[in-house]
Amino acid sequence: MVTDPIADMFTIIRNGVRAGRRSVSIPASRVKKEITDLLSSNGFISKYAFVDDGVQGEIKILLKYDDRERAAIQDIQRVSKPSRRVYSSADELPRVLGGLGMCIVSTNKGVMSDYQCRKENVGGEILGKIW
């Protein structure tokens, strides 16, 4: 039984990057689709596609590398956990590596980056950090 599917998603992506894989696939859910869309729009992954298998579905993620085979994702970490939720207001959101990274925040307006949260003055649960 999976107790933290978002942490499993981050682990699959992290292990895929460290192994040098071109793509990874994860079981789909609404929140995972929103996180994947956010990663794609901020340039951390190349492309993604939802594959509907009739049951739960799968998200296929094409990882992004530069010409020297260095990954766009250096690390991805879970912040808020089922045992310890971490919430923050818009003005108290942490900056990841001085703004080079990004916080993934779940708000009442959907999953957003920390930059978008500050711009729209919306706080929420910090799901993870990526850089």
Give me the mean pLDDT over the 93-103 stretch.
92
42-78 residue pLDDT tens: 999 999 999 998 889 999 999 999 887 889 999 999 9
User: What is the per-residue pLDDT for 45?
Assistant: 95
> Is residue 2's pLDDT more than 80?
no
pLDDT at 1 over 80: no
Tokens representing residue 77 in the block: 């970490």
Per-residue CA distances from 113 to 1, 9, 38 (Å): 29, 17, 7
Tokens standing for residue 100? 């080079």
CATH architecture observed for domain 5-130: 2-Layer Sandwich (3.30)
**For residue 32, pLDDT beyond 90:** yes
